[in-house]
């Protein structure tokens, strides 16, 4: 059985594809930055933990073949896409409702740890295209002769990159200047975040595979 380190080009390709996808602004980035700037670094880190957990779940499902079934089963994909759309719409409307609730409060209420983790988890799990994405990435990057150890290293690499990238986003947006700027325009930024989540939900609903 060939050692894992002989497959470093495949691991490098996997790492590049994943980090580029993570860096494209999407629901994950929006929810991390909003909680980091509008609430606290602690809440943002809990969201990051939820995102990383969900990312690992999608990767494991892909490697076990479930994501391939999702890719092929039109009805199942449609149901999951509708569920994801409804969650993103709910998250967006909840944020917009928070704008109205904050009118009577000087500062937003702190998000509970479990709620923050759940928000990150559901934001990532709610997008069935994650399964399609990982199916495509593994088809491109994983060689057919890869040993079992390769998959363990690949999963660890993906989880580490997800943790580092979204933790960096949380760190930047929870810094003093970012939080002060957020407080100055909190109402408008919360509304923009809510509209962005609604937009992601609509995009998920109408986009093809």
Task: Give the C-alpha separation, 194 to 89, whole Å.
Answer: 9
Domain boundaries defined on the chain: 4-18+27-206
- Given this model, what pLDDT does residue 117 score? 94
- Given this model, what pLDDT does residue 32 score? 93
- Strand, coil or helix: 207: coil
Low-confidence ranges of the chain (pLDDT < 70): 1-5, 66-81, 84, 95, 98-111, 182-190, 204, 207-209
Cα dihedral across residues 205, 193, 59, 23: positive or negative: positive
Read off the DSSP letter of residue 126: T
- Given this model, what pLDDT does residue 115 score? 86
């Amino acid at each position: 059985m060939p050692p894992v380190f002989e497959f470093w080009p495949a691991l490098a390709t996997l790492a590049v594809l994943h980090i580029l996808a993570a860096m494209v602004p999407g629901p994950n980035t929006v929810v991390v930055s909003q909680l980091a700037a509008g609430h606290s670094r602690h809440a943002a880190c809990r969201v990051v933990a939820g995102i990383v957990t969900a990312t690992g779940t999608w990767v494991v499902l892909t490697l076990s073949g479930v994501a391939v079934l999702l890719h092929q089963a039109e009805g199942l994909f449609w149901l999951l896409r509708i569920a994801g759309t409804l969650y993103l719409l709910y998250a967006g409307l909840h944020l917009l409702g928070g704008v109205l609730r904050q009118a009577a409060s000087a500062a937003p209420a702190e998000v509970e740890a479990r709620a923050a983790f759940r928000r990150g988890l559901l934001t990532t799990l709610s997008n069935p295209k994650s399964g399609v994405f990982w199916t495509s990435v593994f088809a491109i990057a994983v060689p057919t002769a890869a040993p079992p150890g390769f998959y363990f290293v690949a999963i660890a690499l993906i989880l580490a990159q997800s943790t580092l990238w979204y933790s960096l986003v949380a760190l930047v947006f929870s810094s003093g200047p970012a939080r002060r700027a957020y407080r100055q325009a909190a109402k408008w930024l919360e509304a923009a975040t809510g509209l962005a989540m609604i937009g992601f939900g609509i995009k998920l609903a109408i986009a093809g595979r």
